[in-house]
Chains A and B, each alone.
Chain A
Amino acid sequence: MKANPEDVFTGVYYIDGDVACAYGAIAAGCKFLAGYPITPSTEAAEAFVRRAPEVGALFIQMEDELGSIAAVLGAAWAGKKAMTITSGPGFSLMMENIGLGAALEIPFVIINIQRGGPSTGVPTRTGQADIMQSRWGSHGDYEVIALSPDSPQESFEFMIKAFNLAERYRCPVMLMSDECVGHMTEKVVIPPASEIEIEPRRFYKGPKEDYIPYKRESDLVSPIVKAGDGYNLYIIGLTHDERGYPISDEEALKKDLDKISTNRYLVDKIRKNRDDIIEVVEDQIDGAEVVVVSYGITSRVALKAIEQARSDGIKVGSLRLITVWPFPEKRIEEIAARVKGFVVPEINYGQVAFEVDRCSHGEANVILVPHGGASVHDPKDILGAIHRVASEKKRYENVIEYTTGLEMSVFGKRLAEIARK
Chain B
Amino acid sequence: MKENQKGVLEGKYKLSGNQACAEGAISAGCRFLGYHPITPSFEIVERYAQRCGDVDGVLIQMEDEISVLAAVLGASWTGRKAITVTSGPGLSLMLEHVGLGVMLETPCVIVDVQRGGPSEGLPNSPGSGDVMQARWGSHGDYELIALSPNSPQDMFDLTIEAFNFSEKYRTPVLIMADEAVGHMTDEVVISPPELVERKYYRGPKEKYLPYKWDKDLIPPMVDIGQGYKFHVTGLTHDERGYPVMDEYCQEWNVHRLIDKIRLYSDEIVRIEEEETEDADVVVVSYGISSQDAQNAVKRAREDGIKAGSLRLVTIWPFPEKQVTELARKVKTLIVAEMNYGQIFYEVERCSRGSANTVLISRQPSQVHHHEDILEAIKKV
When the two chains form their complex, are residues B99 and A119 in contact, meaning their CB atoms are under 8 A apart?
yes
Stretch of B44-52, B90-98, B150-158, B187-195 that contacts chain A: B90-98
Partner of B116, one of A140, A398, A415: A140
Cβ proximity bits A100-140 to B, threshold 8 Å, 1 near / 0 not: 10111000000000101111111111010110110111111
When the two chains form their complex, are residues B353 and A124 in contact, meaning their CB atoms are under 8 A apart?
no
Q: How many A-B residue pairs have CB under 8 A?
A: 278
When the two chains form their complex, are residues B119 and A140 in contact, meaning their CB atoms are under 8 A apart?
yes
In the complex, A410 Cα to B91 Cα: how many Å?
A: 35
Question: At the interface, yes or no: A358 with Cβ under 8 Å from chain B?
Answer: yes
Partner of A419, one of B96, B118, B215: B215
Q: Which of A66, A127, A354, A373 gathers most chain B CB within 10 Å?
A: A373
Partner of A116, one of B104, B135, B250, B366: B250
When the two chains form their complex, are residues A252 and B116 in contact, meaning their CB atoms are under 8 A apart?
yes
Question: At the interface, yes or no: A184 with Cβ under 8 Å from chain B?
Answer: no
State the interface size on chain A (CB cutoff 8 A): 82
State the interface size on chain B (CB cutoff 8 A): 80
CB within 8 Å for A130 and B140 given contacts A99-B118, A121-B234: yes
B129 / chain A contacts, CB cutoff of 8 Å: 139-141
When the two chains form their complex, are residues A118 and B133 in contact, meaning their CB atoms are under 8 A apart?
no
Question: At the interface, yes or no: B297 with Cβ under 8 Å from chain A?
Answer: no
When the two chains form their complex, are residues B96 and A239 in contact, meaning their CB atoms are under 8 A apart?
no
Question: At the interface, yes or no: A286 with Cβ under 8 Å from chain B?
Answer: no
Partner of A117, one of B141, B256, B259, B350: B141
In the complex, A139 Cα to B130 Cα: how many Å?
A: 5
A372 / chain B contacts, CB cutoff of 8 Å: 141, 247, 250-251, 253-255
How far in angstroms is the closest Cβ of chain B from A356? 10
Stretch of B20-28, B120-128, B220-228 that contacts chain A: B120-128
Question: At the interface, yes or no: A88 with Cβ under 8 Å from chain B?
Answer: yes
B141 / chain A contacts, CB cutoff of 8 Å: 117-118, 129, 348-349, 372-373
In the complex, A183 Cα to B193 Cα: how many Å?
A: 54
When the two chains form their complex, are residues A92 and B254 in contact, meaning their CB atoms are under 8 A apart?
no
In the complex, A360 Cα to B352 Cα: how many Å?
A: 7
Partner of B245, one of A125, A136, A258, A354: A125
When the two chains form their complex, are residues B324 and A100 in contact, meaning their CB atoms are under 8 A apart?
no
When the two chains form their complex, are residues A257 and B251 in contact, meaning their CB atoms are under 8 A apart?
no
A136 / chain B contacts, CB cutoff of 8 Å: 132-133, 135-137, 342
Question: At the interface, yes or no: A266 with Cβ under 8 Å from chain B?
Answer: yes
A96 / chain B contacts, CB cutoff of 8 Å: 89, 92-93
B342 / chain A contacts, CB cutoff of 8 Å: 136, 141
How far in angstroms is the closest Cβ of chain A from B146? 13
B62-88 residues at the A interface, CB under 8 angstroms:
66, 88
Question: Across chains A and B, which 6 residue pairs bring their CB atoms closest together, nearest first?
Answer: A117-B140, A140-B117, A140-B118, A118-B140, A362-B352, A139-B88
Extra A-B contacts (8), CB below 8 Å, given A120-B234, A125-B245, A267-B341: A88-B139, A114-B139, A118-B99, A119-B103, A136-B342, A361-B353, A362-B351, A363-B353
